Amino acid sequence: MSRRAVLVLNAGSSSIKAAVFDGTLTERLGAMADGIGAPGQGNLRCGSTRAVRDLPDHAAALGALLEALAGQGYALSDFAAAGHRVVHGGAALTAPAVVTATVMAQIRAYIPLAPLHNPHHLAGIEALSLRAPALVQCASFDTAFHATNPEVAQRYALPAAFAAQGLRRYGFHGLSYAALCEALPALSGAPLPRRLLACHLGNGASLCAIRGGRSVATTMGYSPLEGLTMGTRVGTLDANAVLDLAARDGIEATRRLLNFDSGLRGLSGGTADMRALLADPSPEARFAVEHFVYWILRHAGSMIAAMEGVDAIAFTGGIGEHAAALRQRILEGLHWTGVRPADGATGPALHQPESAVSAWCVPAAEERQIAADTLTLLNAG
Catalytic residues: 142
Contact 172, 206 (CB under 8 A): yes
Instruction: Look at residues 360, 218, 215 and name the one whose alpha carbon lies nearest to residue 300.
Output: 218
Q: Which residues pair with 209 in a beta bridge?
A: 197, 217
* Those residues with Cβ within 8 angstroms of residue 193's Cβ, 6 or more apart along the chain or in another chain: 184, 311, 312, 358
Phi, psi of 204 (to 5 degrees): -100, 140
Q: What is the DSSP string of 153-179?
A: HH--SS-HHHHHTT-S-----HHHHHH
Q: Are strands 358-361 and 312-316 parallel, antiparallel or unpaired?
A: parallel
Length of the chain: 381
d(C-alpha 27, C-alpha 25), whole Å: 6
Judged by DSSP in three states, 142 sits in coil
Helix segments in 250-351, DSSP class H:
251-260, 263-268, 274-279, 283-307, 317-322, 324-333
CA 188/CA 359 separation, integer angstroms: 10
For residue 295, the one-letter residue type is W
- Whether 53 contacts 44, CB under 8 Å: yes
**How many CA atoms within 13 Å lie on the side-chain side of 304?**
18
Pairing label, strands 27-34, 15-21 = antiparallel
Determine the longest span between alpha carbons in the chain, in angstroms.
Answer: 58
Candidates 88, 84, 242; CA nearest to 171 is 88
3-state secondary structure of 211: strand
Q: Residue 22 phi/psi, 5° resolution?
A: -90, -175
Neighbour-count burial for 158-182, b at 16+ CB within 10 Å, e otherwise: eeeeeeeebebbbbbbbbbbbbbbb
